[in-house]
């Protein structure tokens, strides 16, 4: 029996020679030249230039003599973007395509900021992760996750070494500069080891903690052995160093500024003029306390900032002072009031503080040599700041969200601002309705952006934050990393052993 399939196969074989002799198919026509304007488009050209610049970047695998860690407290991705737009608009250029100084650094990463015990970190646990390589519990500074908040007993055996202490142990100099109290969580993360971040002075501590032998953070700064003590410490917080008789808050009657001056060539300054007058070649350790509490916001400088140095001025002077050590240095620079503006739902303060932070970074970049200086810019955590659509291109970032020039009206019949917060004092109180922002001056320095839920202070948020870097070892900043990994990058860049 002959199968139909066999007959079909035979027919195909017979037909094959005929098919082979068939006329060849015509060659495909060449594609017509592109008719769009892409090669001449401004975005296209900008992309080409960016690619050429990226191709020219090569890893610096050498050792770092110096490391400068810039920390924008609470400076999440939304804060960076909004500040970028704001800074450009203030200069009269396109804000959306603008770039802050640190956004131009070639090596970037995202940092996971959760703490040892919470999804969303506070500044104490955040800075501890960055400066020690160990994640700890919220409220704890310079101790491992085995320590418990407000427990003196748990401080025993849980101390972890900071990158500043490690630098000092290797003969380098170290410093911290901030716009907050120098005893506040982030700057304290370079030198302090405490189970409670709020124990900044002895007047902040309960009697049982004092009786148990816990030391306040100001004492830890001043009483550190000369070989480990910071060489430069600048910011606010004078009240934690002075007794009540000298307008301070110390309950023990001690004047820690006088004790600081006992070190050879030590200096204590309280004004921008005194700071500027310091001769780095003739000066030993410097304590600069320019306010009783935190330094004023930049928007308040015309009234409250007389005699107070800018963050850029403190940064450049710190570099001058620390650079006298031929072995090198470590420096932390904190834009601490970025966070405080966001805690108030006050976007104008947040953005202006971020712009000043960017200026300080640029001042440092203009001063150092990236061949031997590693610069890392990051944040300890983010905030609940949101940029909502759909304002027109170049519309004021502090204004109302709109569509084709008209404000977008929400379901309650009111417009909303481009910037808002998830939580904080801008939220409706007592179940009441939200205010109408079109009837308020949203550009006013004291305007509080709206929030979804009312809290006395805006809560931090837990998304990853950016990391920007250049210099020796900066190529190790890439991908999505743990916040504690940044310590390892700095340690490796110096060439320090894991356990000196």
Q: Which residues pair with 374 in a beta bridge?
A: 67
Dist CA 383 CA 121 (whole Å) = 11
CA 113 to chain CA mean position, Å: 12
Task: From 332, 327, 325, select the one nearest 360 (Cα to Cα).
Answer: 332
Dist CA 109 CA 486 (whole Å) = 10
Dist CA 361 CA 357 (whole Å) = 6
Dist CA 329 CA 314 (whole Å) = 16
Q: What is the DSSP string of 79-119?
A: HHHHHHHHHHHHHTS-STT---GGGG-SEEEEEE---SS-S
Dist CA 274 CA 267 (whole Å) = 10
Q: E strands within 398-477?
A: 402-403, 406-407, 419-424, 451-454, 460-461, 465-470
Q: What is the DSSP string of 36-72?
A: S-GGG-HHHHHHHHHHHHHHT-----S--SEEEEEEE
Helices 311-322 and 347-367 sit at what angle, rounded to 10 degrees? 30
250, 244 contact by CB (below 8 A): yes
Pairing outcome for strands 173-181 and 232-236: parallel
Is 420 a catalytic site residue? no
Helix (H, G, I), strand (E, B) or coil at 452: strand
Listed in sequence order, the residues at least 6 apart from 27 whose beta carbon sits closer than 8 Å to its beta carbon are: none
Q: Tell me which of 123, 382, 420, 458 is the catalytic residue.
A: 123
Task: From 330, 315, 320, select the one nearest 373 (Cα to Cα).
Answer: 330
Q: What angle do CA 144, 147, 150 make, to 5 degrees?
A: 135
Listed in sequence order, the residues at least 6 apart from 210 whose beta carbon sits closer than 8 Å to its beta carbon are: 202
Torsion of CA 342, 347, 352, 355, to 10 degrees: 80
Give the residue numbers annotated as catalytic, written as ranges: 123
């Amino acid at each position: 029996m002959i199968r139909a399939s066999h007959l079909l196969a035979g027919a195909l074989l017979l037909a094959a020679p005929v098919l082979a002799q068939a006329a060849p198919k015509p060659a495909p026509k060449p594609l017509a030249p592109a008719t769009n304007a892409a090669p001449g488009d401004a975005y296209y050209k900008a992309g080409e230039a960016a690619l050429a610049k990226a191709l020219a970047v090569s890893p610096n695998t050498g050792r770092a003599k110096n490391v400068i860690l810039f920390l924008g407290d609470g400076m999440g991705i939304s804060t960076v973007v909004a500040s970028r737009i704001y800074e450009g608009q203030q200069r009269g250029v396109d804000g959306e395509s603008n770039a802050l100084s640190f956004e131009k650094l070639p090596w970037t990463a995202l940092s996971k900021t959760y703490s040892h015990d919470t999804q969303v970190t506070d500044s104490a646990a955040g800075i501890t992760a960055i400066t020690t390589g160990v994640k700890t519990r919220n409220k704890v500074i310079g101790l491992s996750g085995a320590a418990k908040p407000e427990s003196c007993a748990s401080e025993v055996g849980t101390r972890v070494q900071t990158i500043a202490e490690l630098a000092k142990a290797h003969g380098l100099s170290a410093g911290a500069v901030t716009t907050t109290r120098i005893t506040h969580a982030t700057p304290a993360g370079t030198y302090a080891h405490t189970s409670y971040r709020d124990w900044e002075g002895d007047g902040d501590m309960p009697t049982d903690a004092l009786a148990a032998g816990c030391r306040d953070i100001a004492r830890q700064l001043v009483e550190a052995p000369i070989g480990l003590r910071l060489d430069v410490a600048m910011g606010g917080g004078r009240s934690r160093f002075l007794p009540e008789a000298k307008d301070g808050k110390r309950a023990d009657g001690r004047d820690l500024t006088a004790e600081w001056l006992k070190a050879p060539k030590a200096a204590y300054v309280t004004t921008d003029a005194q700071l500027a007058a310091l001769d780095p070649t003739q000066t030993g350790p410097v304590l600069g306390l320019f306010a009783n509490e935190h330094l004023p916001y930049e928007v308040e400088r015309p009234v409250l900032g007389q005699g107070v140095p800018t963050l850029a001025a403190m940064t450049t002077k710190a570099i001058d002072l620390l650079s006298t050590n031929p072995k090198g240095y470590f420096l932390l620079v904190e834009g601490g009031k970025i966070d405080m503006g966001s805690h108030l739902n006050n976007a104008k303060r947040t953005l202006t503080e971020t712009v000043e932070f960017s200026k300080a970074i640029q001042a440092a970049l203009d001063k150092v040599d990236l061949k031997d200086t590693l610069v890392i810019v990051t944040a300890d955590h983010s905030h609940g700041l949101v940029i909502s659509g759909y304002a027109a291109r170049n519309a004021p970032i502090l204004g109302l969200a709109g569509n084709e020039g008209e404000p977008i009206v929400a379901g309650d019949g009111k417009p909303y601002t481009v910037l808002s917060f998830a939580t904080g004092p801008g939220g409706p109180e007592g179940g009441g309705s939200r205010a109408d922002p079109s009837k308020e001056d949203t550009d006013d320095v004291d305007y509080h952006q709206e929030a979804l839920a009312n809290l006395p202070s805006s809560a931090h948020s837990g998304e990853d934050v950016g990391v920007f870097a250049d210099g020796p070892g900066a190529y190790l900043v890439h991908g999505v990393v743990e916040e504690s990994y940044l310590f390892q990058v700095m340690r490796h860049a110096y060439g320090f052993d894991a356990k000196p």
